[in-house]
A and B are shown apart, each in its own frame.
Chain A
Amino acid sequence: DADVTQTPRNRITKTGKRIMLECSQTKGHDRMYWYRQDPGLGLRLIYYSFDVKDINKGEISDGYSVSRQAQAKFSLSLESAIPNQTALYFCATSDLGGTEGYTFGSGTRLTVV
């Protein structure tokens, strides 16, 4: 099994719908992140969490919300999806010391029509 698992892998949804992207990890890391990638561009941070009781906004949090249900689970929600949220979404984890680098999931390709 992958260290960081994202579901679904692909999703097409309609404008205005609520959608949740899920992430679970088996690394035992405290820190988890959600990134977004648009075609040809680098990754941009949406939200991050340093532990179960900690939630922080990243550079592009508008239109998104997150929930850290447990150390191993971090979900991203689009309350009312819009077409410009069409992108590739990645979840990542890191250990407290940062010595292992970040471990990324395989991504969720979301299309909002």
Chain B
Amino acid sequence: DAKTTQPTSMDCAEGRAANLPCNHSTISGNEYVYWYRQIHSQGPQYIIHGLKNNETNEMASLIITEDRKSSTLILPHATLRDTAVYYCIVRVLNAGNMLTFGGGTRLMVKP
């Protein structure tokens, strides 16, 4: 799996959009970008994934650059409950290898 780089921590004001960047400059053509989050000591929660097109669901939007070397997870209206560690993971869909969680970005949403 390609290596990812994320900022260690970020702050966001409640009600504002939270934009979480992820660098994956060594991504291969068949690797997807996945985002998970982990609220304190709970099990990680799947958020969204994409290959090259931008994706949106009820939780977030995923913007992938045209060269696919980086992406941004957008939480459009952050709430206090979005405070969590956010993990960006790059892997092949249906891969025999497993999810590998790195350090992630600790997002703190402040009132």
Contacts and interface: CB of A to CB of B under 8 A. Distances in A.
A107 B102 contact: no
Nearest to A48: B98
Interface stretch (A12-20, A63-71, A78-86, A90-98): A90-98
A96 B87 contact: no
Given A42-B104, A48-B98, A100 B42 contact: no
B49 A101 contact: yes
B2 interface: no
Interface residues of B, number: 20
Contacts, number: 53
Given A90-B43, A92-B43, A42 B87 contact: yes
A43 interface: yes
A55 interface: no
B98 to A, nearest CB: 5
Contacts of A106: 42-43
A43 B101 contact: yes
A99 B93 contact: yes
A32 to B, nearest CB: 11
B94 interface: yes
Contacts of B101: 35, 42-44
Given A42-B101, A42-B104, A43-B101, A98 B43 contact: no
Interface in B26-51: 34, 36, 41-46, 49
Given A42-B100, A100-B46, 8 more contacts: A35-B101, A42-B101, A58-B98, A96-B94, A102-B36, A102-B46, A104-B45, A105-B43
6 contacts: A42-B100, A43-B101, A45-B98, A98-B93, A98-B94, A102-B46
Interface of B: 34, 36, 41-46, 49, 87, 93-95, 98-104
